[in-house]
Structure 1
Amino acid sequence: MSNPIYAAYAPAAPYFDLVRGALGDLVEGEHFFDIITDDTIYEVLYDVPGWPRIIKGRDDLMAAFRGYVDGIALQSADKLIVHRTDDGHVVVIEYEVHGTILATGVKYNNRFCSIIKIENRKIAHWRDYMDSLAAWNALTAQAGR
């Protein structure tokens, strides 16, 4: 059974479920926020208004994702490719997400590549790359497009 504290993050569930499934038995915990360390570093190598380049710690990451789910609802996440390296201590995942920008109703589709460092069966560091143009186009599009 899912932790009720995570109910507010339901609009990002497809992403969280994809990540959890990709990491399988390399990590312990049911939900995405259960499988990260308290002092995790979540680094994004792109600029999106309102999203910091580096997020330090589980609490700040949860706060950032609250902003995400207030603006975007994902319907699915797919096309997962998993590359395990360094005896499973580093995992690279490629995937796509599909959703809607809530303020405009514009469809949001994006591709990502994430490099994940695992320590003591938890995510200690996350480095993210995405199709910045796809995000920009979705976030700046007008309703009805």
Structure 2
Amino acid sequence: MAVEQRTAIVLENITGIRSLYRRGNGQGRKYRGRMNSWNFGEVQRQIEYKARWSGLPIIRLSKRDTRGSSVACPRCGERLQTDKWLRRKLWCSNCRIVMDRDVAAAVNLSRRGRLRFDRSQPKSWAQGPPGEAMVEESEPVRETVILKVEGAR
């Protein structure tokens, strides 16, 4: 999809994700074993490799950039409210919408990645037409060239 639309791929920094699956977090031993045996870095490495192969830019967001992405409303930016019966669903009291927290995070991360990508690009008015900076003079300027300067004697 990103190749057909020629868009950038936004990746979140997932270092420290294994700390989510430790003893005492209320998860079973088998579940923790399965989650910790999954190679998180390999998935990102493969995505980066395929994106470079296709010529797509990759935007990496830091932990600071991704903070609060799953609890902010993608429409208005307000903090989404949790419901004790709908564990993965969040609702916005301002917009009156119900949204899965993973979908909200994906939309918010996409928007933040797009903003970072736009800031990294040169402004269109600053670019100018190609070759504008290297304009050759139409007639050569004839000036007297001073070859040697003599100091006071």
**Greater strand share, 1 or 2?**
1
Higher relative contact order (CA closer than 8 Å, sequence separation 6+): 1
Relative to the length of structure 2, the TM-score reads: 0.27
Relative to the length of structure 1, the TM-score reads: 0.27
The structure with more radius of gyration: 2
